[in-house]
Amino acid sequence: MTDFKTGSVQANGINFHYLEMGEGPLALCLHGFPDHAYSFRHLLPDLAEAGFRAVAPFMRGYAPTEAPQDGNYRAVMLARDTVALVDALGDGQAYLIGNDWGAGAVIGASVLAPEKVRKLVIIASGRVDEELAMDYWYLRGTWHFYFFQMPFAERAVAHNDYAYVEQWWRDASPEWDIPDYALESIRETFRKPGVVEAALGYYRARFGPAPQDTEALRDEERINAGPVTVPTLALHGTRDRPKRLESFESEHMDAYFTGGLDKVLIPGTGHFMHQERPEEINPRIVEFLTG
């Protein structure tokens, strides 16, 4: 695995650790579940070569990044983390790239602080309207959202040295021949104290009570309503099992991204397309960011 420069920075009250390559305008890459900063091990070198300072933080609660003392993993906090990281790491503006929960974070940041976002790339993300949210096949694909509410979910995920995480990767990207080093690397992250609890905390916050803080509630409503007014590249795989294709193709998504939306469907790829086919995905991202 490539040797990356590592660092840490204080942002939104949390000490974030990150991987870094290159010099130039900040390109901030945020991972999802069940994943970590090394998700972007192929993309960071290509971004650096293209003239960017490419930075991939470990998201809140994913060691070595700290877990929030108040246990708050609501989506609005992920968006605020992103805005704070842009300020702490760069000159107040950045190119944002996110996968899964990371995509949600960069979308939220683009709504809350569009003046800080040069361009936006989202991988394996869509918008869900009320009709799709009630669809049987959509609910079946998002069953883990509900399973993770169960009190025994931590033990199930950790069982047999995190076999759940490996199988989740295989189900999410069924055509990916996952290298052993990638599986061992993600296991190492999840073995660290508190990571499983934090990772499931993202899902539990999804169904938790609304923020009591008026400003946080207002920001959450802004993110839900949109729109995103910055140029956006959305990448989605035809074999992405957790994310229904309908959420990517929906008119609801087209209406949410008003700053220019380039939607690209990649045949045969799954949820982790940037790891599956970096030779195909990375040039698309670099071309969009530099165009």
Task: Record the pTM.
Answer: 0.96
The tens digit of pLDDT for each residue in 63-85 reads 999 999 999 999 999 999 999 99
Contact between 109 and 79 under an 8 Å Cβ cutoff? The reply is yes
DSSP 126-189: ----HHHHT-HHHHHHTHHHHHTTSTTHHHHHHHHHHHHHHHHHHHHSTT----HHHHHHHHHH
Taken in order of first residue, the domains within the chain and their CATH numbers are 5-290 (3.40.50.1820)
Write down the pLDDT at residue 1.
Answer: 62
Compute the average pLDDT of residues 237-253. Answer: 83
Write down the pLDDT at residue 245.
Answer: 78
Percentage above 70 pLDDT, the chain: 99
The tens digit of pLDDT for each residue in 117-172 reads 999 999 999 887 777 888 888 888 889 999 999 999 999 999 999 999 999 999 99
Residue 48 CA: distances (Å) to CA of 43, 84, 197? 9, 22, 33
- Token pair 């949109």 is found at 226
Determine the Cα–Cα distance for residues 18 and 39; give it in Å rounded to an integer: 12
Residue 23 tokens, joined: 């010099």
Contact between 272 and 99 under an 8 Å Cβ cutoff? The reply is yes
The tens digit of pLDDT for each residue in 195-227 reads 999 999 999 999 988 777 899 999 999 999 999
Compute the average pLDDT of residues 235-240. Answer: 95
Strands (E), the chain: 5-11, 14-21, 26-30, 53-57, 94-99, 117-123, 232-237, 261-266
Residue 53 CA: distances (Å) to CA of 24, 72, 236, 290? 5, 29, 25, 13
Write down the pLDDT at residue 77.
Answer: 98
